[in-house]
Structures are given as C-alpha cells and as structure tokens.
Amino acid sequence: MSSKRPLLETSAVVPAAQDTEYHRVALVVQYVGTHFHGWQRQPRERTVQGDIEAAIATVLGTPVTLCGAGRTDTGVHAAAQVAHFSAPTLIPAHRWASILNSRLPEDIVIRGSAAVPGNWHAQFSAQWRRYRYTLYTQPIPNLFIRPFSWHYYYESLSTSQMQAALDPLVGYHDLTAFQRTGSKRSHAWVELQSAKCRRRDPFITVELQANGFLYGMVRLLMGILVQVGRGLLSVEEFTQLWRCKQRERVKYAAPASGLCLLRVGYEHFPFAPDVWYDTQPHFALPLVSNAIAV
C-alpha cells in the first residue's frame, strides 16, 4: 500500500520568494486507514497528515502544516476528509489534486482541491461531520469486505431495537459514557443531529451526524449498541447508561475497520457533490439462491 504512483507532474520544487503571494487551498481527502496510525502527525509513525505534508513539501521545498476537519483514529477510514494548507498562488489551487496524487501512496487519494477564503478553516468552519459504521453479519468470512467492516456474526441483531436506542441520542447531550480516556476536550457535550441504523442483508450500517465527535465516541457507542441488538441490553438500560454517564459500563470499542468518516458539512464549500457526498460505496451481496443460474 505504500508504493508511489508514477509522477504525472513535474517534480521540480517551486521556490517561494520573500514577496510570494499565498492563498489557502482546501482538499477533499480519501484514505484507507488500515495501515495508518490515524490522521494526526506522530513521530516515528505513519499517519495521513504526515504523508500528505511530506508530499506537499516535495513540491514547495519547505515544511507545511495541513489542518484537517477531524482526527480519525488508527485504522479508521475516510471517504471525504477535508483539510487545508497555505501555498503560493503561483500554483493554481485546482491543480494541487493531481500534483499530490502523483506523489502520494496508493491508500490516499485527493478527490479535489480548490481555493478558499483566508478565514476559512477545515476544522472550525465545519458545521457537522458524518460517520458510517458497517457490520457484516454473514457467518462465512469475506476477504473483500474484511478491511471495511466488523465481522459480527455471533448472534442475530435487531436493527429496530438498535434504532430505538439511537433515537433518544439525537439532540444536545453530555455523552461522557462514550468518550475514551485521554481526551483533551473541556466537556463532553455533543449535538447529535442524526442517527440511522439500516439493514442491507447481510450488512448493517449505522450513520451518525454531529457537530463534533468525542475521542473514540463512535466505536465505544457501537461496542455497546450491538448488545442492544442482541437483546442483552434493553433500550431503556442503554439510555440510562449514557444519561447517567456510566462510562464504566462501556467496556469494549468496536473494531476500527468498520468505521469511516463519510463527509464533512460546511455553509460554503467549493466542491461539487460528486467530489465529497456519500463516496463510500454501500456493500451489497446477492441472495445466492436467487443468483445461481439454472
């Protein structure tokens, strides 16, 4: 996954003179998180931010800082992460996508690049983020699905009960129960705008949209939501758990492989919907009994 694509653009470094004008460039970034230690740059670890910053530096000949809309954890994917950086106006903003794609490894793609106002910020201008979690419930493992799902086949899951447990979460709540230790946030209040659980046999997806997410929130929530789906925890017990901030009862986090940052929403966004909206495909498998030719 770490091999480089053939260079499609000139590899010459663009020097920045003292009087060079700069503009802010926004990127829509897609990545398979399997081999990354998350988004945020870390010493001696491979990260998405680190790989993209290194690619930009090969063009500009100087270190840059890439600001992302959110920090995905180790192993988590992104269909349309958003980031921005400053670059000389000498390079048109729309060209950065192809320039970087020629320098990035195969598990990162820049789906689009565009100029944005100087006060636009990938993180602070965002109004919401949306995540999708995918479970694969068929007992037989599937290698092509494994990197992007939680293979949960132990017990049948009731999506109606899972949805009933999610409904009270919509609104502005203190979700301390779903926050991992080590968070630097000063509070755990989250405005959850949407929570949907759907079944597409043999797949179950849960999509959550909020103004922001706590550290480890979706994986912790999914880890106990499946207990509701199995009937081991009632909807009322689940609701009481988070309303009473019973973090000690949330013991397990769902695997990172099933989680994907689906998209980020802004009031003013310079990209067409086909660049950023719902770009993680839904998995679908035919019913074998209907698919076999007679």
**Please, how many CA atoms are within 13 Å of residue 104, restricted to the half-sphere of its CB?**
24
Provide the pLDDT confidence category of residue 181 given band limits of 50, 70 and 90: confident
pLDDT digits (tens, 9 = 90+) for 32-89: 999 999 999 999 999 999 999 999 999 999 999 999 999 999 999 999 999 999 999 9
Better pLDDT: 19 or 99: 99
Residues near 102 by Cβ (< 8 Å), separated by ≥ 6? 5, 6, 7, 8, 9
pLDDT score of 287: 73
pLDDT digits (tens, 9 = 90+) for 207-259: 999 999 999 999 999 999 999 999 999 999 999 999 999 999 999 999 999 99
Question: Other C-beta atoms within 10 Å of 91: how many?
Answer: 17
Evaluate whether 94 touches 27 at the Cβ level (below 8 Å): no
Active-site positions read 73
Question: How close are the terminal C-alpha atoms of the chain, in Å?
Answer: 40
Tell me how far CA of residue 144 lies from CA of 147, 231, 258, 269, in angstroms: 7, 30, 13, 33
What does pTM read for this prediction? 0.91
User: Average model confidence (pLDDT) for the chain?
Assistant: 92
Query: Is the pLDDT confidence value at 184 over 70?
Result: yes
pLDDT score of 13: 61
Q: Is 208 exposed, middle or buried (0-12, 13-18, 19+ CB in 10 A)?
A: buried
